[in-house]
Structure 1
Amino acid sequence: MIRTLARRMGRRRWFARAGRLLVPADRLVSRLTRGRVVALGLIPSLLLTTTGRRSGLPRSNPLLYVRDGDAWVVVGSNWGQGHQPAWVHNLTADPSATVTVGGAEHAVRARRVDGAERDRLWALLVAEWPAYPAYAERAGGRPIEVFRLEPST
Structure 2
Amino acid sequence: MDSATGWVAKHIRTYVDSGGAKGHLYQGLPTLLITVRGRRSGVLRRTALIYGRAGDDLVVVASNGGSDGHPAWYLNLRDTPQVDLQVGTERFAARARTATADERPALWQAMVTIFPRYEQYRAAAAREIPVVVLERLHTGTGIDVGPA
Q: Normalization by structure 1: what TM-score?
A: 0.81
Equivalent residue number for residue 126 of structure 1:
112
3-state SS in 2 of match to 1:109: strand
Equivalent residue number for residue 34 of structure 2:
48
Give 1:106-125 correspondences, 5 Å limit: 106-125=92-111
3-state SS in 2 of match to 1:44: strand
Aligned-residue identity in percent: 37
Q: Normalization by structure 2: what TM-score?
A: 0.83
Equivalent residue number for residue 9 of structure 2:
24
Paired residue for 1:94, among 68, 77, 80?
A: 80
User: What is the alpha-carbon distance in structure 2 between the residues aligned to residue 38 and residue 80 of structure 1?
Assistant: 23
User: What is the alpha-carbon distance in structure 2 between the residues aligned to residue 133 and residue 72 of structure 1?
Assistant: 20
Cα deviation code 1:93-119 (max 9, x no counterpart): 100001101111011001111312000
Task: Give, as a single letter, the amino acid of the residue that structure 1 aligns with 2:14.
Answer: V
Higher-helix-fraction structure: 1
User: What is the alpha-carbon distance in structure 1 between the residues aligned to residue 137 and residue 105 of structure 2?
Assistant: 24
Equivalent residue number for residue 128 of structure 2:
143
User: What is the alpha-carbon distance in structure 1 between the residues aligned to residue 9 and residue 67 of structure 2?
Assistant: 17
3-state SS in 2 of match to 1:115: coil
Task: Give the count of matched residue pairs.
Answer: 133
Give 1:1-20 correspondences, 5 Å limit: none
Conserved? CA contact 1:26–1:39, under 8 Å: no
Q: Which aligned segments of 4 or more residues in structure 1 are displaced greater than 3 angstroms?
A: 38-41
User: What is the alpha-carbon distance in structure 2 between the residues aligned to residue 85 and residue 35 of structure 1?
Assistant: 24
Gaps of 5+ in 2: 139-148
